[in-house]
Structure 1
Amino acid sequence: MRKLKFHEHKLLKKVNFLEWKKEQSFRELQVMRRYHITDRDDYKKYNKLCGVITKLVHILKQLDPTDAFRIQMTDELLEKLYNMGVIASKKSLALCEKLSVSAFCRWCCKLIYE
């Protein structure tokens, strides 16, 4: 790589390519501070996981309520999330639909501090 010219170097001093201005929202920082998450990537993973679960719940809700596959997948999903401690009870899919990143952060903190 060639050496940067003076004006190029001066322009690049003002730009941080690792962190963008709009990358971290207030809610994200608040949750990271509350649950002592030091790595932003952990928050992003939890957020992605919440998105996948809510998508799955949306797909399951579109299926027929008497469908055997829907009943089985719903039970497995609720059982797994309840055993992890992410949801409080395994009654309905409505709990999974409102799943937040904070629930996964609480679960992670519980694992670390126990």
Structure 2
Amino acid sequence: MVRKLKYHEQKLLKKVDFITWKVDNAAKENVILRRYHIRKREDYTKYNKLSRSIRELAEKIAKLDKTDPFKVEATVRLLEKLHSLGLAKDKLDLETASRISASSFCRRRLPVIMVKQKLSENIKGATDLIEHGHVRVGPEMVKDPAFLVSRNLEDFVTWVDGSAIRKHVMEYNNLRDDFDL
């Protein structure tokens, strides 16, 4: 037994079509936002758009004729670029490019790389350290946790010179120099 709808409820339901209800991925999106500690939802939508365009590009390249020399060149260039960004683990075929997702981009964010290199215990702590200005990539201090780290820059993630955390780590490892004081 269902109660009779009130007037304002009927008015609201006139605008909603339950037969062609659009399915959203809010649950999956929220899981990924929590897992990688992404604070801006816009970053995740950008990653989705980028991964979709990469997959579309891979499909267009795959549709080209096998004897076309441009297909070989485009495939090599795309796979090399994806590998250098760290989005693809291998450079074998276009199948790897078609598996690129938003999570691939999330795994290349600076906090995740910091956890992977054991500079932080968890992604939330790494995000806080980045926002407070304790981390640099190469010579530049980075305050944006959405910074994507390529394979080349992965080795250059370290603490800022004047960071209290760097001093603490150096003191713990008995590597702190009196000249730095």
Sort the TM-score into its range (normalised by shorter chain): 0.7 to 0.9
Query: Partner of 1:14 in structure 2?
Result: none
Query: Partner of 1:37 in structure 2?
Result: 38
Question: Structure 1 residues 23 and 40 mapped into 2: Cα distance closer, same or farther (>3 Å)?
Answer: farther
Distance 1:86 1:98 in 2: 10
Matched AA of 1:34: R
Query: Partner of 2:48 in structure 1?
Result: 47
Percent of aligned positions that are identical:
38
Distance 1:37 1:23 in 2: 19
Matched AA of 1:26: A
**Structure having the larger proportion of residues in helix:** 1
> Is there any run of 5+ residues in structure 2 with no aligned partner, and where?
1-22, 114-148, 158-181
Distance 1:45 1:62 in 2: 26
Query: Partner of 1:61 in structure 2?
Result: 62
Shift in Å, 1:23: 6.4
- Kindly name which structure, 1 or 2, has the bigger radius of gyration based on alpha carbons: 2
Distance 1:23 1:62 in 2: 30
Distance 2:24 2:60 in 1: 29
Query: Partner of 2:82 in structure 1?
Result: 81
TM-score between the two structures when normalised by the length of structure 1: 0.74
Runs of 4+ in 1 over 6 A off after TM superposition: none
Shift in Å, 1:88: 0.5
TM-score between the two structures when normalised by the length of structure 2: 0.48
Task: Say whether 1:70 aligns with 2:71.
Answer: yes
Shift in Å, 1:41: 0.4
Distance 2:64 2:79 in 1: 17
> Is there any run of 5+ residues in structure 1 with no aligned partner, and where?
1-21
Matched AA of 1:91: L
Residue deviations 1:24-48 (CA, integer Å, cap 9, x gap): 6111111111111110000000000
Distance 1:100 1:62 in 2: 21
| Residue aligned with 1:26, SS | helix
Distance 1:48 1:59 in 2: 16
| Residue aligned with 1:37, SS | coil
| Residue aligned with 1:107, SS | coil
Distance 1:41 1:33 in 2: 14
**Structure having the larger proportion of residues in strand:** 2
Greater RCO structure (CA 8 Å; 6+ sep):
1
Query: Partner of 1:97 in structure 2?
Result: 98
Q: Cα RMSD over matched residues?
A: 1.7
